[in-house]
Amino acid sequence: MTLTYQQQYVLDGLAGRAAILDLDARHNRCYSAGDLAGWIATFRHAGATYSRGGEPFTDLRAAFDGGAGRRLVTVDHEITVDGVEATQRCVALLFGADTVVATGIFTDRLVYERGGWYFTSREIQWDRAPRENVLLV
């Protein structure tokens, strides 16, 4: 069965969205586990950037602050796929031992290369105080 251009576009967008959600999950697990190499592997090989609270990092090793008993979870994903490029906005929840440490918003640019999706830039803007209304009850 041959798909129309529109059907193929929608199918590619859905496949890209699913792969980006998997990338987010891998990124979060590596952050939570303190796995620097795995976390860096979620970014493109060259030219990726990370920004935390307005502080930009071109050296991803210097940007990594994961582990230490904290767990990162992202929810409420808005993903737009356009060919081999994509954008994403999602809510970030950072948990400590038994409480929410911080909430914020990730704004991402992604690229499809080498057979998978990778972050080209990732910016986290932490809220001044945790937003309790984003927690699922």
Give the amino acid at 68: A
Is 94 inside any structural domain? yes
Domain count for the chain: 1
Is 137 inside any structural domain? no
For tokens 């090989």, what's the residue? 45
> Residue 105 forms beta bridges with which residues?
91, 125
Is 136 inside any structural domain? no
Is 62 inside any structural domain? yes
Q: How far apart are CA 133 and CA 137, in angstroms?
A: 9
Is 72 inside any structural domain? yes
The boundaries of the domain holding residue 42 are 5-131
End-to-end CA distance of the chain, in Å? Answer: 44
pLDDT in tens, 87-100: 999 999 999 988 89
Q: Residue 112 maps to which CATH number? A: 3.10.450.50
**pLDDT (0 to 100) of residue 131:** 54
**pLDDT (0 to 100) of residue 137:** 46
pLDDT in tens, 21-65: 999 999 999 999 999 999 999 999 999 999 999 999 999 999 999
* Strand pairing report for 49-52 and 55-57: antiparallel
